[in-house]
Every structure is written in C-alpha cells, then in structure tokens.
Structure 1
Amino acid sequence: MSAESTKSGPPLKTSHPITFLIIGGGIAGLSTALALRRVGHYVLVLERKSRDVARGHGGVRLPPNLTKILFHWGLKPALMQRALVTHTMLFMRYESGEDLGEHVWDKGMLKETRGIYMLCTHDDLYGLLYEAAVSSGAQIRYDANVVSINSEEREVTLQSGEKINADVLVGADGEFGLSRSTVIGQDGFGTPTGLAMYDTIISSEHVTKHANASTWKDHGIFTAFGSGRAIVAYPVHGTDDLAMQFYGPDDNEGQYGDEPSVDMPEVTVQLCDHFQPLMKLARKAVRVSIRDHSDLDEWISDDGPLVLIGEAAHPFPPGTIQATAMAVEDGAVLARVFSHLSEDRQIDSFLYAFQELRQPRTRSVRAGEFGNIFFMTLEDGEDARQRDDSMRAMAAKGTNVLEGLGGDVSRLWDEIRTIFGYDCEDEADDWWVQWGMLRERALKRNNVDAGQMPATPLLDFSSLMSSVQVTETAQEE
C-alpha cells in the first residue's frame, strides 16, 4: 500500500436523508457539513461570526490521521496546493539556543498510516473545507448568532428572533459555546493550567534574514524547550512565512476568535538572544488560555437529538498536533454512522454509537497532548535534565532523539505511532458490521419494525433547503 490513502469511489449514501443543523462554522462544523453531504444528508451551518473572522489566524499541523481523511474525501489536490509536507523536527533549549538534536519521521511508519504530515495555516484549511462543503450542497450562514437551543423541540433561536428546526442538532461552537452548556446544564470554564498559547506569524521578509532560515525552508518543525516555556514554529504559505506558537505563563483570559493583541517581545522574555530579533518582527499574537476540562460522560442532550463534536465535546490544549484532527475525525465518524440511516427510529441509537466510538479515542489522545505540553515546558530540575541529556546522547549517535527517550516519553512516542495510524472511518464501518447491522437484524427477528416503533417527526427545514441542489458533487480524485 502506498504512503497515501488509496480509498476511492463515492461513499455509501443513506437511503433516508434527514436534516442536520450545525451550530458553529469553524473547522469542526465545516468538516462535519461536508462529511454529511457526502453521504446524502441535508445540512445547514450557522456561524455567529462573519466569514472573514471565522477563518481564524495562525498555523495548524495536519498529522497523517487527518490528511488521510481529506484524501478519502477527494481533497488531496487542493490540500497539496495549500499545505507543505514535513519530515523533520528540530529541538533546542529555549534559554540558551543549544541544539538538542532532530527527529525524522520514519518513512515506513508514515507509509503504514496511509497519510502524510503536513503544515498549513488555519485560514487555508478553512478555505479548503468551506469550498468543498458549499460545492457539495451544504448551506452556510454567517452572522447567524444562536442565542437559545431547545433540543426537545429540535429548534434554535437566532439573535434576530428567527427560529430554525432540524432532525438533528450538532453543537460545534467550542468549549465556551452554548451547545456545551446546554448539554451539561451549566457553563463549563475548565480549570486554569497556568499556561497560555500565543499564536502568531512572522512574514517571509523577516524569516529569510534569520540565520536558521534554511531549516524552515526545508519544511522542518522547530521546537524550543524552556523552563515553563516552549516554542513550536514551522513554515507556511509555501515556506514564505513562519507560523509560531509560544507556550508560557498565563496572566489573562483568552480564547480562539479573539483579535491579535499581544506583542511577542512582552511574553518571550528569557528567550536566547539569537532568536529575540525574530520576536520583535512577529505580528501581534492571539492569546489562548490553556484550561483543563473534565471529560463529559455524555455528549448528547437528555432532552433531544443535540450532539456535541470538536472542542464543544472535548476541548484540547490549543495549538497541539491533534486538536484539529480530532474535530475532523468527529465529523467523518458521525457521517459514516449516519450513512446507514434507513428510518427515523435509528437516530438516537446512531448518536449514541457515535459517542461510544469517539469518547475513548478523544480522551486518550487529549491526555497525550497535555502530556506533550508539560514535557516541552518542564521546569528546570531533574526531569528536564534527564530529558535533555537523553536527547543530547541520541543526537551524538546520529539517531532520532525522541525514540531514544525512556519511560513515559518512550511510551508517548509509541502512542503517537498508533494515533497516526488510526482510521476513524474504518472504525465506524467496523461498528456497523459488528453491532449496527446485528441490532437491525435482531429487531426484525423480534418483529419490531418501523410501524411498531414511535415515529420521529420531520421538522420544518424545507424552506431553508429549497435552494440546495440535492445531487452530490463528486469530490473524489
């Protein structure tokens, strides 16, 4: 099998299309809209911000478990135009600039994943998904602020007073959004970790003058470890610009969607003199507080078919490798499960199947991402010394520095391999074969058919979908 996904051909289409209303038009909302349209359902996305603001700022890393999904959806050509392939990670000390070695992604491991590791900006990924979702027939409305959700009536109310119904409501409006608080019955702000992520971009005219420009031109991901601080940086826009995420002390509230407001020299104190000139040339950064949220037992409202996805279901530390990937995986799995829908009575069981498929995966991966941040920002002490000494020793041997680390770090590296190789759509297909199909057969054996089950009413969505072309636009290669 090649290093890239070999899946092709149109996806399985539902025999019973229903209406989905997605609250939130970020990456999670758009990818879910596209995935649902690919299997034949009707979709309306409501985004409270304007399109320009919703596109976001900064860079995003696309691991193989994410890129393989986009390849499955026929988006490889568009993605290759917007993103860079990366093979190497370089490590140094934040305060001194000392080189700690490098790690080159194993070609055999990447081949097994059927995806590749790529780098791009949030707005480029957003644009790709927006264009694909609209082409597939999804409706997207901006400046549509949802102020109340009635999951029992399957209805939302906009700030304008307009009410909109659907068969299923999907909450994709983030960790502080209305959907999450509706499901859990209260606002959930999480617990401060004492760290924040500062997201910015440095333009090419400044990057090319820097001594390490050749490293970034070679598509490497650059990481600096510091005491309570860290930097992750990588090239974007065809290596013209440098995306940078700085992790450091958190002294203010902040979240995605905020306007850039932080001058980088103010927060990158103690950074080695070699890199300080770059900080003075960086654009103002967006500050995003890193908060730890308790795992939710339920992603589905008790009152009706409202399901959470993405950051609304499982808030990840900002800027981490898997934060975006898990949101796209959610959309892919939800759509794959609902591709088998043949009757209204299946809606609830399919939503719970989605939850059961996604909760173990996201909980495990999220724990690992928090571990990675704390690994990068270890305070000076014995643990940090052992980390750095081990990396120096592996670099001296000319080997990959992460694979030589012992204990928990070695275990985390093994977990990264497993995470990259995961195919969420295959997992959803396995669920149908092993459980979903068997359940349907059991119902038929017990003479429980659609006529004996309580009907789920289709609510008024037709007026909103009147302009939607129902035929599927081919997205495959």
Structure 2
Amino acid sequence: MEDSTKPIHCPPDETVASRLLRNGRYAGEYYKPFPPNHFAPKPGQQSLDIAIIGAGIAGLNAAVALVQSGHNVELKMFERSKFAHEIGAAIHMCPNATRILSYYEFDFEAARATQLHQSSLLDAHTLEILRIARTPDTVRLYGASYSLFHRVDLHQQLQKLATEPRPNTKYVAKINLSSEILDIDLDGTVILTSGERMKKDLIVVADGVRTKFAAKVVSDQISTGVSPTEKVVYRFLIPTERLLEDPRTRSLFEGEGFQANIARLDDRRLVWYPCRQGALQNFGFFVPGKIQGYEQEVWNIPVDRETFLKDCSPLHPILQAVCSKADDIKLFQLCMRKQPIPALTKGSVVLIGDAAHPMLPHQGQGGAMAVEDGAALGVLLSDLRSKKDVPRRLQLFQELRFNRVSAVQILSSVGQDEIHKVVKAAQPFFEGPVPTTVEGLNDYNYTPNILRDALELLRQDRKDSLAKQEQKGYASSRI
C-alpha cells in the first residue's frame, strides 16, 4: 500500500494543447455555452407545481433551474429557524459547478467570487512544499473557472436569482416560512404541522445532511442517517490584511493570485483559502476527535481558545502564529453516511444535495454536486408535454446522477493523497479504473458538463421512445 506520508508523485505538467488532444471531450461542442433561456418553457409545455424542502444551496439552485424550465416552485422549510443560516464560512465552486452558475446568469461579482490560481500541499511541521498545482488553464481545460465564495454571499445571490422576476420565465420561486413541514407522502402530499395537506406534482427533498425525509425514498433496511467520524474540524476566518501586517505570517499570504493550501502533519490538516475577493482567509483545522453529545448538536459549537491552541501546538511556529489570530472559532463534527443509498427518487419524491449524498469536504465537491443535481433536474424536467412523463424523467435523473454522486461521495471521504484507501469501495460506480492521481481526480470531478449530459440523455430517450413506437406501429400493420 502507498505510504500517504510521502510527497505525492505528480506526472510532468502537460501543455494545455496536449491535454485538449488527449481527451477530445474537453474541446469543441461539449463546452460550447448554451444561449440564455435555452431550457425556458416552450409553447404547449406542461408546468408542474413543485415543493422544495430546504432553502440551502441545493434547494435554491434547484429552484433557479426549475423556475427557468417553466415550473411553479415553492420552497418550504422543515423548521423555520433553518432558513438563511448557511453554516460554515467559505465554499469551493469548482468548474463543474461554475459553468452551471454561469448559464443561469449567476452574478459572480455581486457574490464577491475569488478566482483560485493555485493550490499547494505543505508539510505542516517544516513548511516544505510537497506539491503545487496551478490552475490558470482551468477555463481552457474544463470550460469554466474555479471560484471560492463565502457561503452567505453564495446563498444570497442564489436566493435573489430564484425569487426575482427574469425574462422568459413564467414564475418566480416563493419561499414559504409560514408553516413547518411535519411529513411528506410519495404521492406528492406535503403535510404541515398545522394539519394542512398540500398536493404537489413533485417534492424535491433538499433538507441537508440530517435529512428527515430521505428515508421515504429508500427501504427501511438502509440507513439514511449519518454517523460521526473520528475527526472534528475547527473553522475560523481571519482578515487577509491582519495576516499581511504580521512579519511572521506575511510570507504565506503575499504574492500574486489567490491560492488554497493544505498543511498536513500525521493525522492533522490545516486547510485555508481566500474568499470575498481575497479579503478574508477561511481556515479549517482537521484533528482527531469526537464531540460529546453528538446527537444533539454537531455544528457551530463555540470553542475554548486554550483547547484550540493546544491542538495547534504540533504545527510549524508560523502556522501557530496564524492560528493565534483566530477570534471566533467554531467546532464541527465531521459526519458521513456509511454507504451511498441505492435510490435518489421514488414516486413523486426526489432527493438532492446532502439529503441524497452527504460528503466530507476533502474533494471540495459537496456544494458542486448540489449544483449539478439542481441543474440536471431542471433540464430533465424541461419541455414537458404531459405530467404522465414525470416518472420517466425522474428515472432519467436516477440514471444520470446515481453513479456520479455515489462515486464522489466515496472519494470525498479521504484526501486526494489518500484515494488508495477507497478504491475498492468506489470501483462499482466507475466503468473504468478509479482515478488515483491528482490530475485524474480533477479530470473526473471537473470534466462533466451536466447541462449537456442531461440534455443528451433526454434527447436519446426521446429517440428511443419514438423508435419503439414506430416499431410497434410497423408490427401492428403486419398483423
């Protein structure tokens, strides 16, 4: 087995031209942008009444996509207190997600997006650089940028995009906080705590990692709950200016461009990257441990400063100096689902985001998969001629998304330098070998254009359906 403590061997850098030639899917039509409103409702299209449970990144992005595909969307909350409280600080939006946001005319400037230029792996004890990966060619390789956001900024802009009128859309999404949801049924019924029952054509469950409703879709024998891992993470933000003012820490944050960093030491990792156009640095310090009282609370727990600094003591003095500047430190228990669930949809219910595939943060793909889910659903439910077609469209969603999100869920349980630990578990969800190099993982994560993949799947399904009808008609004429 590979020794994960050794520096990672990376293949020599390829030119952009050679990468494009090596995999023709990167070039040409596959990444050609769709014109605005390409999936907007067409004459004669059937609109659906859709309830989305949850208004986090997954729920809001699904609302954006479904509204632009011509559907009447209402976002509802399981608990009113859960609205507009994105937990954590910053978040990655990798090329597979930003190309989707770009299509839906997301305002990157208003969301204060930070464009990632490179990432580095360091030895947290010596500060020796073990690997540098530069990302200036992301747009040419994958057709989209690599952006970093403060979660609140991303959430606010998605909410604006979902709820404000836009050209060529019949509806805007409505956020309903007046009643809380008690239960749902597979026939599309939403049951409120008031006793009121509402019938919808589709229920999109996006209620997060501690979902209450995902169990409706899978059998009782399969757990949709999450369990604590052996790791916790301290999260905090520090203004970049403060880090540049201190001669001890300046060298880690000066220079051109924005970069993400991982400093590893045995079973500890300090991760940091910028957000809010570089004005803030977001930190996550991963250490062994479990939070007592896990069942009651796992997020956003205030931390004793002494305890935090004690955990930082094995780090290089410069990294300790960085951590000493943290003011508002919160502790999070890392949780994971033991295995991917076998179904993402059943009846008139579909699961997306963390409710469908909760992920650890090691690949930076949790938010991106939520964005992909919403986009896929929007495309597959576009140009709908009859409500009778909805079950088939949901089957296509299962076909398109299941292997993809299951694979990424498993790969996300470890760092990019530890993929050898999960190759066996991930293999059933790959047609070929599981990628194990940094380049291979990036290609797998960033390459898919879900908008185009969903459209191609929908078109192929229509062709197959027409061919079957013609064959059936020909057979009947021969009788």
TM range (shorter): 0.7 to 0.9
Q: Is the 8 A contact 1:20 1:170 kept in 2?
A: yes
Q: Is the 8 A contact 1:83 1:237 kept in 2?
A: yes
Equivalent residue number for residue 34 of structure 1: 64
Do residues 279 (structure 1) and 316 (structure 2) align? Answer: no
Q: 1:17 to 1:92 in 2, by over 3 A?
A: same
Once the two structures are overlaid, the 10-residue window that deviates more, 2-11 or 178-187, is: 2-11
Alignment of 1:185-196 (within 5 A): 185-186=219-220, 188-196=224-232
Match of 2:372 among 289, 309, 329: 329
Equivalent residue number for residue 128 of structure 1: 157
Do residues 297 (structure 1) and 342 (structure 2) align? Answer: yes
Structure 1 Cα separation of the partners of residues 32 and 81 of structure 2: 34
What is the total number of aligned residue pairs between the two structures? 414
Q: 1:285 to 1:444 in 2, by over 3 A?
A: farther
Structure 1 Cα separation of the partners of residues 357 and 387 of structure 2: 27
Kindly provide the CA deviation profile for residues 146-200 of structure 1, in whole angstroms up to 9, marking residues without a partner as x.
Answer: 2211223x11223343433210011111232112122235553345431233332
TM-superposed deviation, 1:372? 1.9
Identity across aligned pairs (percent)? Answer: 23
Alignment of 1:306-325 (within 5 A): 306-318=349-361, 320-325=363-368
Do residues 223 (structure 1) and 223 (structure 2) align? Answer: no
Q: Is the 8 A contact 2:229 2:333 kept in 1?
A: no
Q: 1:255 to 1:99 in 2, by over 3 A?
A: farther
Structure 2 Cα separation of the partners of residues 192 and 144 of structure 1: 31
TM-superposed deviation, 1:144? 4.6
Equivalent residue number for residue 438 of structure 1: 464
Do residues 71 (structure 1) and 102 (structure 2) align? Answer: yes
Do residues 13 (structure 1) and 40 (structure 2) align? Answer: yes
Equivalent residue number for residue 461 of structure 1: none
TM-superposed deviation, 1:221? 0.6
Kindly provide the CA deviation profile for residues 194-215 of structure 1, in whole angstroms up to 9, marking residues without a partner as x.
Answer: 1233332123453223323534
Do residues 364 (structure 1) and 407 (structure 2) align? Answer: yes
TM-superposed deviation, 1:30? 0.2
Structure 2 Cα separation of the partners of residues 444 and 31 of structure 1: 38
TM-superposed deviation, 1:376? 9.7
TM-superposed deviation, 1:269? 4.0
Amino acid at match of 1:272: H
Equivalent residue number for residue 164 of structure 1: 198
Do residues 421 (structure 1) and 472 (structure 2) align? Answer: no
Secondary structure of the 1:242 match is: strand
Equivalent residue number for residue 239 of structure 2: 203
Equivalent residue number for residue 314 of structure 2: 270
Amino acid at match of 1:60: I
Unaligned runs of 5+ in 1: 379-406, 448-477
Q: 1:308 to 1:330 in 2, by over 3 A?
A: same
Q: Is the 8 A contact 1:21 1:166 kept in 2?
A: yes
TM-superposed deviation, 1:72? 1.0
Q: 1:231 to 1:443 in 2, by over 3 A?
A: farther
Structure 2 Cα separation of the partners of residues 286 and 4 of structure 1: 40
Q: Is the 8 A contact 2:204 2:352 kept in 1?
A: yes
Kindly provide the CA deviation profile for residues 273-292 of structure 1, in whole angstroms up to 9, marking residues without a partner as x.
Answer: 21113223222224032324
Structure 2 Cα separation of the partners of residues 409 and 418 of structure 1: 7
TM-superposed deviation, 1:217? 6.6
Q: Is the 8 A contact 1:79 1:128 kept in 2?
A: no
Structure 2 Cα separation of the partners of residues 336 and 288 of structure 1: 35
Amino acid at match of 2:186: S
Structure 2 Cα separation of the partners of residues 106 and 428 of structure 1: 28
Structure 2 Cα separation of the partners of residues 23 and 279 of structure 1: 38
Equivalent residue number for residue 91 of structure 2: 60
Q: 1:159 to 1:261 in 2, by over 3 A?
A: farther
Amino acid at match of 1:11: H
Do residues 258 (structure 1) and 299 (structure 2) align? Answer: yes
Q: 1:159 to 1:6 in 2, by over 3 A?
A: same
Secondary structure of the 2:314 match is: coil
Q: Is the 8 A contact 1:21 1:45 kept in 2?
A: yes
Amino acid at match of 2:135: W
Q: Is the 8 A contact 1:207 1:241 kept in 2?
A: no
Structure 2 Cα separation of the partners of residues 312 and 222 of structure 1: 29
Match of 1:150 among 173, 181, 185: 185
Q: Is the 8 A contact 1:5 1:71 kept in 2?
A: no
Structure 2 Cα separation of the partners of residues 376 and 306 of structure 1: 33
Q: 1:314 to 1:443 in 2, by over 3 A?
A: farther
Structure 2 Cα separation of the partners of residues 12 and 146 of structure 1: 31
RMSD: 3.0
Secondary structure of the 1:212 match is: helix
